[in-house]
Amino acid sequence: MPEVILQARDLVKHYPIRRGILRTVQGHVKAVDGVNFDLHKGETLGVVGESGCGKSTLGRLLVRLEAPTSGTVEFEGADMANASGKELRALRRNIQIVFQDPYTSLNPRMTVGDIIGEPFEIHPEVVPKGGRRKRVQELLDLVGLNPEHINRYPHQFSGGQRQRIGIARGIALDPKVLICDEPVSALDVSVQAQVVNLMEKLQNELGLAYVFIAHDLSVVRHISDRVSVMYLGKMAELGHEEEVYERPTHPYTQALLSAVPVPDPTLRGKRQHIVLQGDVPSPANPPSGCRFHTRCWKAREKCKTDVPELILRPDGVGEHFSACHFAEPQVIVPTTDVSDVEPDERFAEVDHRDPATIAEAEGTLQDADGLRPETTTEAQANLFAPIQDDEGHPGRVPDERRDV
Amino acid sequence: MSESAVLVEGAEAQAAGGDVGDARSLGADAWRSLRKSPFFWVSAVLILIFLLMAIWPSLFTSTDPTKAVLKEARSRPSDAAWFGRDIQGYDIYARVIYGARASILVGVLTTVFTVLLGGAIGTLAAYAGGWVDSLVSRITDIFFAIPLLLGAILFMAALSGTMTGYFGVIFKVVMALTLLGWPSLARLMRSSVLQVLPNDYVQAARALGASPWRIIRSHIIPNAMGPMIVVSTINLGAYIAAEATLSFLGIGLTPPVISWGVSINDAIVGLRTTPHMLLFPSLFLSITVLAFIMLGDAIRDAFDPKSR
Amino acid sequence: MSTTTSAAPQTRSGDGKITYTPVDGRLLDVEDLHVEFHTEDGVAKAINGVSFHLDQGESLAILGESGSGKSVTAQAIMGILDMPPAKIPEGAIKYCGLDLLTMPDDQRRWVRGAEIAMIFQDALSSLNPVFPVGWQIAEMFRQHRGMNKSDSLAQAVRLMERVSIPAAKDRVKAYPHQFSGGMRQRIMIAMAIALDPAVLIADEPTTALDVTVQAQIMALLQELQQERQMGLILITHDLGVVADVADRIAVMYAGRLVETANVYDLYAKPAHPYTRGLLESIPRLDQKGQTLAAIGGLPPNLLRIPPGCAFNPRCRMAQDICRTDRPELREVAPGRKSACHFAEEVLDA
């Protein structure tokens, strides 16, 4: 397994609840409550969970938009959670974020060129001033947008195109890690696939590691190498994609998987539906012991008192991380391997450029803007070559325990 | 429209993601819709005329406003003096024209100062948050509680005898109005900054390591300015009216400064016998105030996406 | 689409109210519906000739992306479009044979709620925050049935129990913000079914909900539909939810139906390139190693819908004819229709 580049240890974020005239602290919302994981170079770690499970807070902690209450986030050995000033600014180049809502994530008063160019203004050492415009155009091309649209404003683009702009801003500084907070959930079905494919392409070309936060279990399965399931600020299960989806051992994962609708009417009535009782408890006052015990059909006395550790537990084939005292694998989603099935090219395309751009480039549409310039394939190849200056940085030796 | 034209348009829409044309900022969009508003044009033309009056009064009249023709004092409008003459025999038309300068100077300067002061304080309070916000907000509230006239009277009384030149007097009035006018803009700016702050583009800039100054300058202020611009345009009119009120009460601008407020004050003695002395300065004052309020409304409509 | 030709089937009951009785189980007939929005930039053609029908006890899913016109269709049936800017230049929406669009206003108001009810995506903004939920449900009975306060509240409690709100008796006086998202959606459903409507329109009822809650709400909707033999129109973009719930599917694109079929046929063999593309572009929970094949391009701007087939700029199969001639929705196999010049080829693929 490749080296670990991002390591979260005992990450905790408690938000104080203040009430009364004196604004005294009356308790804490335990948004993230002890999260551990390793992220390896070039992999995608999916984080799934329902609203209020703390997955978005986790993402914000990882890019240090929030300071953790306690715990560490180490990027190649440097603690980002407790860094400040120049050191933090330098570390930020390595971890960037893509947001969910393409309508609020781009400043409406700035042109696309200014938005994607801002990272270079903040970190002027990355690209010399004269080369910035060219670099921005290369980035636009890389995410499949027409480089000539550099002077347009965000509202002139559709949701999917805006998300591409957000991604271009995220990769501008050539980060090693990209935190993706629900990057496709605001997009239409047909556009979702375009953006997912783009993200996979960028990962292959640039060697990015993703933390892919989403509530859509199908999208997460598609894009992730490893997956973690969060419930009330803690990880319930963590393992490789096929371990979590095919041999889930935590009852919450099992319930979650059973609730996801599958676009196949022939499975009607044949799938097992695990219906959970009640609602998710408030993170301000989480249940004792195992946080899931109030809704779990397997809960016993032990679950009310003892917090189950997230440790390797057998899943029938091997073992993966699960935080359940009574972990046992159960097949919820019978899976078909379709790796060798190629989609019919007559109906859908696997080209990753923005289709509007393709149309212009191929001249299939009569475009007033005229022809696109030569595709900058060479420029693309060299795009990130000059800024690979972190080679000498001592990477962390992969952890023997694989995770946690 | 011909078939092929439709085809081209459709293709363009496709290519540009539903939009046609090149860079179009929100400001440009607002301008496009502003151009269609008759209120905008009426107010813009009026304001332009008043500005010209303020800068080159001699364009509008060749009469000296300080030339008193005592024997014709209080005479009614005539060919020689279009608006008649006042109690000291000054030509009212000339005095109204020359009075624009003081009134507009007070309005514009007060607006500039309140925007700078209120905008900066409001932005600081919202961005810093915490105890800074609480402290600044309470100070704002204290100033907010002072009645404009009472505060201005006190201020002017305290500074009476100082700064007696033309610009000195104007500056005193501007200071008084600014001191009492900034809190409303600070509050407004604070609330619009609070709305802009949680936007993901601000968060993205933070994640990139942008300095607070950069975030405020390039992300927060451009997006939070809108409401303040609208309100201060409307306020500009209100400041001109406030200046007139102070001058009318004898504590604002005082002769030899020529202003609409001073003229209205002078006219009071003949309220029943020579109403024209009151009418013309008041008319100009009202039209100016109205023009700025109309402009503010038009700008607000243009920037409000819902009305489009 | 078939039209009801028999004489008007409704009768007046004692209190002057019309009783609507479906003929041959046919509840709703939408015929050649057009809706346009007049904006400053031009006329946006949101719906361009949509026809479909709904029978008693049937679930019809209207599937489409944003801007396809699926929600506008629902709002037109409900009669809650803001006119202006919306305008219905053509078409008929017949409920039990009677055109809702030409009906007098008071009659239409009666139909809305009592005969056709609707639930929305955002339950929080659909409920009034200043009144207790029980009071809001009871309001339906007070307005339409003229019940007194205590009777209507008792009915409200009964309904809240029916939609499985725990401790309904105690929570009848609670306010909307005191409920979770799923519970609020249940309250919306209780309000919708209060007057025993014959048609229930659900506009993205679970989009804002978590997946475990979504499953509960869809199960509840199905249960209620079967129990009351309602006709259900499910407006959604989610191919997964549709596969679980619908009997028939109508796929919308740029304000037109591009395909209608029974749910099993459509998933097994789509007859329109758009449907096919959609099915290939969604990641599936039960597959691994899947190659996602995205549909190219963007949905068209409704101000400038391309000539010919609206899907042609995004269609990999498009020929010259697709750019000039608009394909009609036609029968391509027993019980299924497609609006594609090459539907047979798509079916055989």
Buried b (16+ CB within 10 A) or exposed e, C33-64: bbbbbeeeeeebbbbbbbbbbbbebbbbbbbb
Nearest chain C Cα distance for residue A160, angstroms: 9
Any idea what the Cα angle at residue C31 is, between residues C26 and C33, rounded to 5°? 135
Tokens of residue B233, six digits: 């345009």
Nearest-CA distance B16 → chain C (Å): 10
Q: Is residue A344 part of a domain?
A: no
For residue A215, the 8-state DSSP code is: S
Residue B129 has a pLDDT of 82
Bridge partners for C251 per DSSP: C63, C259
CA gap B50, B44 in Å, rounded? 10
Do B57 and B100 contact (CB within 8 A), yes or no?
A: yes
Are B218 and A169 a contacting pair at CB < 8 A? no
Q: What residues in A contact C214, CB-CB < 8 Å?
A: 259, 261
CB contact under 8 A, A218 and C282: yes
Q: Which residue numbers of B have CB closer than 8 Å to C's CBs?
A: 3, 6-7, 9-11, 13-14, 17-18, 33, 308
Residues of B in contact with A162 (CB under 8 A): none
Nearest CA-CA partner of A162 in A190, A134, A184, A137: A184
Task: State the DSSP H helix or E strand holding residue A245, giving kind and residue range, or none if neither.
Answer: helix A241-246
Q: Would residue A328 count as lying in a domain? A: no
Question: Average pLDDT over chain B, rounded to whole?
Answer: 79
| pLDDT tens-digit series, residues B188-227 | 999 999 999 989 999 999 999 888 999 999 899 888 888 8
Q: What is the pLDDT, as a whole number, of residue A393?
A: 33
Candidates B4, B14, B308: best to mutate against C (most CBs of C within 10 A) is B14
Phi-psi region of A264 (alpha: psi -120 to 50; beta: other; left: phi over 0): beta
Q: Highest mean pLDDT range out of A31-40, A374-383, B265-274, B278-287?
A: A31-40
Please tell me the predicted confidence (pLDDT) of residue C114: 83
Examine the domain organization and report whether A285 and A369 are in the same domain: no
Provide, as residue numbers in chain C, all residues whose Cβ is less than 8 Å from the Cβ of A343: 280, 291-293
CB atoms within 10 A of CB A21: 5
Give the percent of chain B with pLDDT over 70. 89
Q: Which of C309, C314, C316, C313 is nearest to C340 (CA)?
A: C309
Other CB atoms within a 10 A radius of the CB of residue B210 amount to 23
Q: Is-contact C275 C258, C-beta < 8 A?
A: yes
Look-up of token digits 């800074």: B132
Domain assignment of residue A362, yes or no:
yes
Q: What would the mean pLDDT of C244-257 be, rounded to a whole number?
A: 91
C297 vs B contacts (CB less than 8 Å): 14
pLDDT (average), residues B56-75: 75
B21 contact residues in C (CB cutoff 8 A):
none
Residues A311 and A370 reside in one and the same domain: no
A 344-403 near C (Cβ less than 8 A): 344-351, 355-356, 358-359, 365
Q: Say whether C65 and A189 touch across the interface (CB within 8 A).
A: yes
Chain B residue numbers touching A149 (CB-CB < 8 A): 16
Verify that A118 and A75 share a domain, yes or no.
yes
Task: Kindly state the percentage of chain A with pLDDT values over 70.
Answer: 84
What b-and-e string marks burial along B245-255, b requiring 16 or more CB atoms within 10 Å of the CB? bbbbeebbbbe
- pLDDT of amino acid C2: 43
Query: Residue C98: which of C7, C167, C165 has the closest Cα?
Result: C7
What residues of A are in contact with residue C216 (Cβ under 8 Å)?
275
Angle between helix C211-228 and A251-259 (nearest 10): 50
Instruction: Report strand pairing: A44-48 vs A209-214.
Output: parallel
Task: Indicate if A220 and A82 belong to the same structural domain.
Answer: yes
**pLDDT computed for residue A401 by the predictor:** 33
A293 shares its domain with A373: no
Residue A353 confidence (pLDDT) above 60 = no
Asked if the Cβ–Cβ distance from A356 to B14 is below 8 Å, we say yes
Please give the pLDDT value at position A366: 33
In angstroms, the CA A9 to CA B278 distance is 79
Same domain assignment for residues A315 and A364 = no
Contact (Cβ atoms closer than 8 angstroms) between residue C186 and residue C213: no
Residues on chain C touching B13 (C-beta within 8 angstroms): 300-301, 303-304
Within 8 A of B7 by CB-CB distance, chain C residues are 306-307, 323
How high is the pLDDT of residue A376?
Answer: 32
Nearest CA-CA partner of B11 in A60, C304, C119, A1? C304
Look at residue A180 and tell me whether its pLDDT is greater than 90.
yes
- Asked if A314 and A361 sit in the same domain, the reply is no
> Chain A contact for C202, CB < 8 A?
no
The DSSP string of A338-359 is -TTPPP-TTT-B---S-HHHHH
Measure the CA–CA gap between A121 and A134, rounded to whole angstroms. Answer: 14
For the segment B129-158, the average pLDDT, to the nearest whole number, is 86
Q: Distance between CA atoms of C302 and C42, rounded to whole angstroms?
A: 10
Q: Domain residue spans in chain B?
A: 1-36, 37-307
Angle at C152 between CA C151 and CA C157, to 5 degrees: 100
Q: Which residues between 176 and 215 in chain A have a beta carbon less than 8 angstroms from any beta carbon of chain C? A: 188-194, 196-197, 215
Indicate the residue among A301, A322, A343 that finishes a domain: A322
Lowest mean pLDDT among A260-264, A280-284, B19-23, C62-66: B19-23
The encoded tokens of residue B252 equal 């604002």
Mean pLDDT of C55-71: 89
Contact with chain B for residue C23, Cβ under 8 A: no
Q: How far is B24 from chain C (nearest CA, A)?
A: 15
Say which residue, B100 or A381, is predicted with more confidence.
Answer: B100
Tell whether the model's pLDDT for residue A362 goes beyond 60: no
**Rounded to an integer, what distance in angstroms lies between the CA atom of residue A283 and that of residue A55?**
13
Q: Which chains touch C (3 or more CB pairs under 8 A)?
A: A, B
The HSE-up count of residue B144 (CA atoms within 13 Å, CB side) is 13
Q: Which long-range contacts (CB under 8 A, 24 or more apart) does A156-159 make?
A: A156/B16, A156/B17, A156/B19, A156/B21, A156/B23, A156/B24, A157/A112, A157/B17, A157/B19, A158/A191, A158/B17, A158/B18, A158/C298, A159/A102, A159/A103, A159/A186, A159/A187, A159/A188, A159/A191
The more confidently predicted of residues A167 and A280 is A167
Answer for the pair A291, A234: CB distance below 8 angstroms, yes or no. yes
Query: Which is nearest to B9 in space by CA: A150, C300, A156?
Result: C300
Q: Are residues A273 and A145 in the same domain?
A: yes
Q: Which CATH architecture has domain B37-307?
A: Orthogonal Bundle (1.10)
What are the tens digits of pLDDT across the range A214-262? 999 999 999 999 999 999 999 999 999 989 999 999 999 999 999 888 8
Smallest Cβ–Cβ distance between C306 and the set B10, B18, B33 belongs to: B10
- The residue with tokens 């609707």 is C118
Written in H, E and C, the secondary structure of chain C is: CCCCCCCCCCEECCCCCEECCCECCEEEEEEEEEEEEEECCEEEEEEEEEEEEEECCCEEEEECCCCCCHHHHHHHHHCCCCCCCEEEEEEEEEECCEECCCCCHHHHHHHHHHCEEEECCCHHHHCCCCCCHHHHHHHHHHHHHCCCHHHHHHHHHHHHHHCCCCCHHHHCCCCHHHCCHHHHHHHHHHHHHCCCCCEEEEECCCCCCCHHHHHHHHHHHHHHHHHHCCEEEEEECCHHHHHHHCCEEEEEECCEEEEEEEHHHHHHCCCCHHHHHHHHHCCCCCEECCCCCECCCCCCCCCCCCCCCCCHHHCCCCCHHHHHCCCCCEEEECCEEECCCCHHHHHHC
DSSP annotation of A84: -
Q: Are residues A305 and A179 in the same domain?
A: yes
C288 CB near a chain A CB, below 8 Å?
yes
Tell me the CA distances in angstroms from A266 to A263, B156, C35, C267, one per residue in order. 9, 85, 36, 9
The separation between CA C259 and the C-alpha centre of its own chain, rounded to angstroms, equals 16
Domain that holds residue A367: 356-385
3-class secondary structure, A115: helix
**Which of B3, B14, B308 lies nearest to residue C40, judging by beta carbons?**
B308
pLDDT band at A356 (very low <50, low <70, confident <90, very high): low
- The answer to whether B7 contacts C307, with C-beta atoms less than 8 Å apart, is yes
In a domain, A402, yes or no: no
Report H helices in A24-84.
55-62
Q: Amino acid identity of A163?
A: Q
Based on C-alpha coordinates, what's the Rg of chain C?
Answer: 21
Mark whether A317 and A369 lie in a shared domain: no
Residue C11 has pLDDT above 80, yes or no: no
Check residues C32 and C83 and name the one with the higher pLDDT: C32
**Cβ–Cβ below 8 Å for B26 and A109:** yes
Domain of A90, CATH number, reads: 3.40.50.300
With both helix axes pointing from N to C terminus, report the angle between B221-248 and B260-267 in degrees, rounded to the nearest 10.
30
What residues 223-242 of chain A have any CB closer than 8 A to a CB of chain C?
223, 241-242
Q: What 3-state class would DSSP assign to A281?
A: coil
Q: Distance between CA A179 and CA A176 in Å, rounded?
A: 10
- Packing angle between helix B276-303 and helix B38-55, nearest 10 degrees? 130
> Looking at beta carbons, which residues of chain B come within 8 Å of C40?
33, 308
Is omega for the bond preceding A265 within 30 degrees of 0, making it cis? Answer: no
Strands in A234-240's sheet, in edge-to-edge order, are A95-98, A177-181, A209-214, A44-48, A226-231, A234-240, A319-322, A311-314
Provide the number of structural domains found in chain A: 2
For the stretch A365-393, pLDDT in tens is 333 333 333 333 333 333 333 333 333 33
Residues C200-240 have pLDDT tens digits of 999 988 887 888 888 888 888 888 888 888 999 999 988 88
Is this model's pTM higher than 0.90 or not?
A: no
